[in-house]
Each structure stands twice: as structure tokens, then as C-alpha cells.
Amino acid sequence: MKASHSDTRRFAVLLMTLFFATGLTHASSAGAIHNADRLMQPYTGNVPGASLLVIKHGKILLRRGYGMADLEHHIAAAPATDYRLASVSKQFTAAAVLLLVEDGKLKLDDSIRHWLPTLPPFADQVTLRELLSHTGGLLDYEDLIPPGTTRQLNDSDVLRMISATTRTYFSPGTAYRYSNTGYVLLGLVVEKASGMSLQDFLKQRIFAPLHMDHTLLYVHDARTVSNRAYGYSNIDGKWQLTDQDLTSATRGDGGIYASVDDLAKWDAALYDNRLLSDASRKLAFSAHAKVVGESYQADYGFGWRITGDTLWHSGESIGFRNVIVRWPKQQLTVILLSNRNAPEPYRTVLAIAAPFLDH
């Protein structure tokens, strides 16, 4: 049957609608992808690599791996490669707390000492809300590690060290200081309030519902990470394996492994109430403190930095450098996960994103 002129026209309109759904022409999209590949050149070849994802209006525009996830076994990095997220994990710990608030099992203005009574009396004045926004003032556990320590710290070690302190950096709620300590303790609170291990709570309440099937909170010798990237550092001009250090076994501050593929599902869930309520997302994405002492201008929400129209967070641990940057108004997200100590990827992601914006 021969198509009518009107049918042909409708089909053409449909194709054009699909073609322009992301706001990008073919030429501009090709140029943006070429720009991204150019910026990712340092990650290519037989070197520690990266995985990159660009999503706009829910459509994946770029999904690639570069370089190697495992130099020793010559395994290439791919979109399904799992990286240690480091501090990108904090947004998941914050979401776990917000879910428990929705459940009525805790309150943001609860004292941290209410949940962890071995903490010093001054912790009565430190609330969960303040820990979420890095305004609690508790000492950094990294600075309390005894000299000569060789065994990896766990969350119980962090709790024990903070319980032995006699001071804070400042009165709770009066200043900002980025705190891994606070997020380790928040992870312990999630366990107390839920009656589950942190890794099981995250799996049952966040990862499984979103079908993030290859994401997990890593517990040394207890969980196997599939498609795992190993971390490397450039030392004396050579890439050397630096996958773990003394603080790589703590959980709430940075223990999640995930791929860009799974993080795409997380990103999608942040636009609606399939996981978190409107009220919870508003809390997470609202400015609660002015970031100081860092190289970028930002405010801090709950597990998110806020700069202009962007929501973002970086993650750094030995051998890994990661960042997720979201432009919610334009429904653009760029995620770069890497298994190397350099370069720091935030500026690279901003440069990758630029051609995808405002089209």
C-alpha cells in the first residue's frame, strides 16, 4: 500500500520530533561527543581509565569507557565497570537518613548522641541535620589515627576514636567544615534506627527498588564487587596499584561501588518521588551551609554541593577520582568515574557538559 502524502509528512514530523527530543541537532551532538572524546584523551590507552555518561531529558547521549579498569589483567574500562565512589557515596547515606525520617524512625533534629550514646556529652548538641550539612564540628577521624597504624579502620574504630575526644572544632551549627566523621556516624545511625546493616538497608531501600543491580556498599572480604576497577596512582612516572588505604573500609562516608550505568538509574529517580518524597528531595537539594575551605564556590545540601544551577559532588580516595554534576533545569547530567589519582575530574566534566547545554 502506497503511503499518502499526509502519512509521509506525519512520519517526517515524528522523525524530527525524535531527532530534536534532546534539544541537539545531529551536528551539534556529534560535535559535543567529539569534544568529550578529546577531553577524555588522557584516560585512553593502556593506562588507568574512566567511564563517562551524559544524559539529557532522560536520554543517554554518551556512554563510554576509556582506558583500563585493571592494568594487571588488561581489562578495559566500560560503562558497566564498578568504581569506588568515595564521597559520591554521601548522597546515598543522606538519602538513607531521609528515608528513615519519612518512615518516622528518626528526626533530623535528633542528637547524634541519642543514637550513639558512647559519644562525649558535648555531642548532645550535635544533630543529624548538622552532620548531613557538615556543620557538626566533630573532629576528623583521619587526624586521630594513631601513628604506626597498619590495620584498616572500620566504623566502630571511628566511633571509638570520636568517643574519646574532648572538644569540637566549633559550636555545632555555627560553621562549615567538611566531615567524613559525620557521615560515618550517620551510617551507624541508619543501622540503629533501621535494625539492619547499612549495606543491607541501602540494598533493600535504594539499590534494589531502582534496579541498581551491580551497586553495593563494599565490606572487605564479605562482598564481591563485579566488574571492579582497581585504583592506581602515578608514582615516579609509573602507574602503581593503590587500591586501598587505612580509611578504605569505612562505609557511610565513601564505601559504595557503582557503575555509570547504575548511576543513571539513581539520577532518574532524583526527578520524581519514586524513591524520595518531594519534601525529602527539597531538603537534600537546598542550601544548608556555605562551603568554605574548598577550591570551588558552593553551598551544601544533604550529600550534595550546590553551585548556580548545578547539584554535584566529587569523590576522592586513594586511586579514584569521581564526580557527578546535574543541571536539573536542563535535565542534563554528566558522570565521570575514574580509577586513578589524577586528574581531578570536575573541571573536565564542566567542559564536557558545555556543548550539551542551552541547545
Q: Three cell numbers at 20?
A: 530534536
Residue 342, Cβ density class (10 Å: 0-12 exposed, 13-18 middle, ≥19 buried): exposed
d(CA 344, CA 351): 13
**Composition of the chain by helix, strand, coil, percent to 5:** 35, 20, 45
Annotation says 87 is catalytic? yes
Who's near 279: CB < 8 A, 6+ residues apart? none
Cα angle for residues 216, 218, 223 (degrees, 5° grid): 90
Question: How far apart are the two ends of the chain, measured CA to CA in Å?
Answer: 39
Cis amide leading into 343 (omega within 30): yes
Catalytic residue among 6, 29, 51, 87: 87
> Which residues on neighbouring strands pair with residue 334, listed in sequence order?
54, 325
Nearest 10 degrees: Cα torsion 261, 267, 272, 277? 110
Neighbours of 73 (CB within 10 A): 8
Ranges assigned E (strand) in the chain = 50-56, 59-66, 68-70, 75-76, 83-84, 216-217, 232-235, 238-241, 256-258, 289-290, 299-300, 305-307, 310-317, 320-327, 332-338
**Concatenated DSSP letters of 81-108:** -BEE-GGGGHHHHHHHHHHHHHHTS--T
Q: What are phi and psi of 82, to 5 degrees?
A: -95, 125
Enzyme catalytic residues:
87
